[in-house]
């Protein structure tokens, strides 16, 4: 039903492909307009209003390594480094 379309980004002028899968997704969400920007320009526009994230240092509750996290750690909640967090997530 859907076929890939080549569109032109209104910000950078580069061509990008609006895939059949993306078109199906847009239709399932009720979006009627095609995207006007390529993924890179959409991401840049989305992140433009944000300032740099403030990062906090904590000690991983599992391995004891230093962890950098985007939230202020609290004493009553454990904080994990990205490696330990990923392992815990895999285990369920």
What does 11-79 look like in DSSP terms, one character per residue? TT--EEEE-HHHHHHHHHTT--SPP-S-HHHHHHHHHTT--PPP-EEEE-TTT--EEEESS---TTS--
By C-alpha distance, which of 35, 32, 37 is closest to 48?
A: 37
- pLDDT for res 19: 96
Q: What is the pLDDT of residue 56?
A: 96
pLDDT along the chain (92 residues), means of 10: 95 97 96 95 87 90 94 93 92 82
Rounded Cα distance between 62 and 83, Å, is 10
């Amino acid at each position: 039903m859907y076929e890939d379309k080549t569109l032109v980004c209104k910000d950078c002028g580069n061509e990008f492909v609006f895939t059949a899968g993306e078109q199906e997704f847009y239709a399932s969400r009720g979006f009627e307009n095609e995207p006007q920007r390529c993924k890179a320009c959409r991401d840049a526009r989305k992140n433009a209003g944000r300032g740099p994230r403030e990062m906090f240092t904590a000690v991983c509750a599992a391995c004891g390594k230093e962890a950098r996290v985007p939230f202020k750690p609290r004493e009553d909640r454990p904080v994990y480094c990205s490696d330990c967090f990923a392992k815990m997530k895999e285990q369920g």
